[in-house]
Chains A and B, each alone.
Chain A
Amino acid sequence: MKFAIALYSAAHTPSSRRALLFAQAALAGGHEIVRLFFYQDGVYSASNNVVAPQDEQDIARQWREFVSQHQLDGVVCIAAALRRGVLNAEEATRYQRSAVNLEAPWALSGLGQLHDAIQDADRLICFGGP
């Protein structure tokens, strides 16, 4: 089964962790993830600048490692990211901002990537809210 997974919440929310555990279970079950698409506050789950307290789970880091390890297609919506201050090096240069908080394995792209993933997948699964 091919899954498209969309995340709408930040790394500190339970739903971001829930999405990660679902994605891990999907791969462990022999399924495919055609794309992860982070939209709305989901862009914060891809931020490289999240510093979790030492005795708490660092979900943003776990997402990064998960995507890298399985070489998944991790797309962050560019319009949602810019609005929320999540920038890669290219966008930071373009808009003359001092901080870069989005790096590989994440790629910034448009909403077309969400629709493309929906077309490609058997199931779209969204995570967000609390």
Chain B
Amino acid sequence: MSKSLLVISRQAPWSGPSAREALDIVLAGGAFDLPIGLLFLDDGVFQLAPHQDAKAVQQKDLGANLQALGLFGIDDVFACSHSLAERGLTPPASAQPLGNEDICRLIDRYDQVITL
């Protein structure tokens, strides 16, 4: 059986290539049909904020990559409720909000974890 991997993305989408490179790990894993989970934590939840405009800073739209998650078979997408609330964001439809205890159990459930 394949080992499962949880990627915890903590970076805002506009702080350099970090958020995109975290997502690339997830998409690559999905392309190989591996069991991958994705959790948005801390500033990472800003990736889920609605109506962001990548063109304003001449960047590529990370939202398009996020929408591709389903196509790559990545269905386990979560967001930290505490991080969302702290930043005044409402829980998005694209990620399941989880409380602290649930995140603790989530990390427990995966074989390996990468936090970046």
Residues of A within 8 A of B (CB): 6, 8, 39-40, 79-80, 83, 110-112, 114-115, 118-119, 123-124, 126, 128
Contact = CB atoms under 8 A, between A and B. Distances in A.
A59 to B, nearest CB: 21
A118 B3 contact: yes
B114 A6 contact: yes
A111 B112 contact: no
Contacts of A110: 28
A61 B56 CA distance: 41
Interface of B: 2-3, 5, 17-18, 21, 24-25, 28-29, 31-32, 34, 112, 114-116
Contacts, number: 39
A80 B28 contact: no
A79 B26 CA distance: 15
Contacts of B112: 118, 123-124
B34 A124 contact: no
B2 A128 contact: no
A77 B106 CA distance: 28
Contacts of A124: 5, 112, 114
